A and B are shown apart, each in its own frame.
Chain A
Amino acid sequence: MIPAAYFFIIIPLAAAAVCAFLNKKQAAPAILANIVLACGLVFGLTAFSNNMGQDWFYGQAVLSSFMTIIIYLVALAVAFFAAFAASTKRRGSYFAMLLVITAGMAGVVNAADFFTLYVYLEVVSVCSYALISFYNRPKSTEGAIRYFYLSSIASAILLFSISLLMVYAGGTSYETLTAKILATQGNPAPLNIILGIMALAFMIKAGLFPFHSWTPDAYESATSPVSALLAGIVTKVVGTYALMVVCMLLSIINFGIADNPVGRAVMWFGLASILFGALNAQEQKDFKRMLAYSSISQMGYITIAAALATPLAMAGALFHMFNHATFKALLFFAAGSVKRATGSTEIDSMSGLQAKMPYTSLTASIAMLSTAGVPPFSGFWSKLFIIAALWQAGFRGMAAVALFASVLTLAYFLKLQRGMFFGKPSDNIKNVKERGAGFLIPCFVFAFIIIAAGLYFPLIYDNFLSPFIRVLQ
C-alpha cells in the first residue's frame, strides 16, 4: 500500500469514531461526514494526477487512484442525500457506518496484497449487513442474512485460494506473485486453477447471475441512500474491481493472450447475468426491484469486459464502472425522492409524476437513457468500448448479445418512464410536491457528470482512460 493511501482509511475511520459519540445529534454527524468525504474527494483527485505516470503493477496505481475517486464521489453524494433523506434517531451510527464503509472500500482498492484485500472486504461486508438491516424490518434483516451467508462463503473460498497462492509464490502480495509468474514462464495450469477459484469468490460477492438471490431483496428493503451506495459502488469494489485485478494477473500468466480458459468461463457468467438481469427487469412491478435487476445486468457488462482483459476492454470496464456508479446512484436517489413524496415505489400505482416532480423526472430520464447506452450520454461510450473490444477479440456472438441486451434495457426503462412519469397525473398524487434542494442537488450533479462525460468524451479519454491503456500495453 502506498503511504498516501493510509490517508483515505485513517481520516474517515477517525471521523467515524467521532460520529459514533454524536449518536443523538441531528446535524453534527451529517456535516462532519460530508466535510470529511469532500476533503477525501479533493485529495483523491490530487493523488490521481500524481500517480498518472507510475506503473508498479500493471497499471494498478492508476486503477487504485481512479477507483478511490469514484468511491469518494459516490460516498459524498450518498452522505449529502442521506443528510436530508435519512430520518432516524440514530444518525450518528448511520453516518459512522457510512464513513467506515468508505474507509474499507478505500482499503480494498489500495491494497497491494491479497490478504489485505480479504481484511478490507470483510470490513465492507460487515458494514453492509448493518446498513441493509438498519431499520427494524423483517425483509431487510432477511436480505442481510442472505448476503451474510453468501458473502461469507465467498470469503472462505477466497482465503483457501490465498493459501494456495502462498504455497505457489511464497507470499501473498501482487508484486511477489507477478515476479514469480514472470520468473517461471512454465505451466500455467495450477495458477489458472487458483485464480479461477478466486474469481468464483469475487463473482459471488458481485452478485452475478447464479449468486444474485440477495440483491433484489437487499436493494428493495434498504433505504434509498444505502441502495445507491450498495448498487453504485460497494458491489463494484468488492466484486468487479477485485475481479479486474485477478484478470490482469491471469492475462500476465497466459502471456497477454486474452483467450484463457478462466477468463472465458468468467465471460460466460457475465453474459448470463446480462441476459438474466435484462429479462427479469421487464417483469418487475417495483421501481427499486427493477433497478436491482438492472444492476445485475450492468454488472454483467463490467464482468465480461474485465474478463476479456485486453487494454480496450479494461478501459471500457473501468469507464462503465464509473458510469454505472453515477447513473445507478442517481436512479436510486430518484426512487428515494419518489418514495418520500408518494409513499410508494410501485410502478402501476401512479402515473404522470412528471407534472408534479419535473426535476426528478428529468434527471431520472437522463440516467435511464445513459444506462441504455443512448448517445450522447456517457453510458453510450462505455458500452461502445465494451462491445468493440468483444468484437475485436473475436467474440462476435457475445458482442451481438450485449448489443441486444442494451435494447432490452431501453425497453424496460421506457416502460417504467411511461408508467410512472409520463401521462395524465393520477388522482392519488394530487398533493405531491417536488422535493427540496437537498434531494435534487446530488441528482443534478450526477446528471451533469453523465452529460459532460458524454459530450466531452475526448477529454475524459485523454486524461483518465488513455494513461490506463498506455500502462496496460
Chain B
Amino acid sequence: MSLHLFLVAGMIICSLAAVMAKRTIHAAILLALLSILLSAVMFTANAPWAGVFELSVCAGLITVLFAAAASMIGRGESYAKREARIFLWLPLALLVFGLIVWGVAGPVFAPLFNAVKPAAGAGALMSAGDIIWKLRLPDLLGQLCIFVAGVLTVRTILGEGKDE
C-alpha cells in the first residue's frame, strides 16, 4: 500500500517537474522517469506485460524521439520569461483543482467506486495474450491500420513535398 502511494505521488511530482523544466531535453528525460515509475506501478499491480511495453516503448522509444526532435530544432526553442511565470502558478492551480475535485466529484463517484467488488470474472482466467487474440481482434487490426498510417504519414511529411 505505502509503496503504491509512494510511486503514484512520485508520478505527480515527476510530471510537475517535467513541464516546469527549463530545457526541452530535461523535460523529455523527466518524462522517461515518469514512464519508468508508471511501469513500476504496473509491475506491482500484476500487469507485467504492460509494464514491459511501457518501459520499452514509452521510456525508450518515445524519449529517443523527443531527444532527436529537440536536437534537430536546437536553439529554435526558447523558454520565454512569460511562460516561466505562468508555470509558477501551476502547483497552486493544481492544489485548487485537487480540492475542487475532492469536494465535488468525490461525493458523486464515491457510490460508484464503493460498489465495485474485485470479483474474479470469467476473463480473469484468460491470459492477456489470449484476450488480445480472441476478444480484441478488431483492435489488433486497428493497430495494424495505425502502423500503416503512421509509416505513410512520416514518409509523406518528411519526404520532399515541393510539388504542387
Contacts and interface: CB of A to CB of B under 8 A. Distances in A.
Interface of A: 1, 6, 9-10, 13, 16-17, 20, 87-90, 93, 96-97, 100-101, 103-104, 107, 111-113, 115-116, 119-120, 122-123, 126-127, 129-130, 133-136, 167-168, 170, 187, 189-190, 193
Contacts, number: 104
Contacts of A170: 121
Given A104-B149, A136-B161, A93 B156 contact: yes
B144 interface: yes
Which of B121, B138, B159, B163 lies at the interface centre, i.e. has the most chain A CB atoms within 10 A of its CB? B138
A79 B138 CA distance: 26
A130 B139 contact: no
Contacts of B163: 87-90, 135
B73 interface: no
Contacts of B108: 189-190, 193
B25 to A, nearest CB: 21
Interface in B82-131: 108-109, 111-113, 116, 121
A1 B145 contact: no
B152 A20 contact: yes
B148 A190 contact: no
A190 B157 CA distance: 43
B48 interface: no
Give chain B's interface residue range (CB within 8 Å of chain A).
Answer: 20 to 34
Contact of B138 (A96, A113, A187, A193): A113
A111 B142 CA distance: 10
Contacts of A190: 108-109, 111-112
A119 B157 contact: no
B145 A103 contact: yes
B100 to A, nearest CB: 15
Nearest to B164: A135
Given A87-B163, A193-B109, 17 more contacts: A13-B144, A96-B148, A96-B152, A97-B149, A97-B152, A111-B138, A112-B138, A113-B139, A116-B142, A119-B138, A120-B142, A123-B142, A123-B149, A126-B146, A126-B149, A135-B164, A136-B161
B162 interface: yes
A116 B156 contact: no
Nearest to A193: B108
A6 B141 contact: yes
Contacts of A17: 148
A100 B145 contact: yes
A133 B157 CA distance: 7
Given A88-B163, A97-B156, A190-B109, A123 B146 contact: yes
A89 to B, nearest CB: 5
Nearest to B145: A123
A387 to B, nearest CB: 36
Contacts of A133: 157
B153 to A, nearest CB: 4
Contact of A100 (B113, B141, B148): B148
Contacts of B155: 93
A131 to B, nearest CB: 9
A313 B159 CA distance: 46
11 contacts: A1-B137, A9-B145, A13-B148, A20-B148, A100-B145, A100-B148, A113-B139, A115-B139, A119-B142, A190-B109, A190-B112
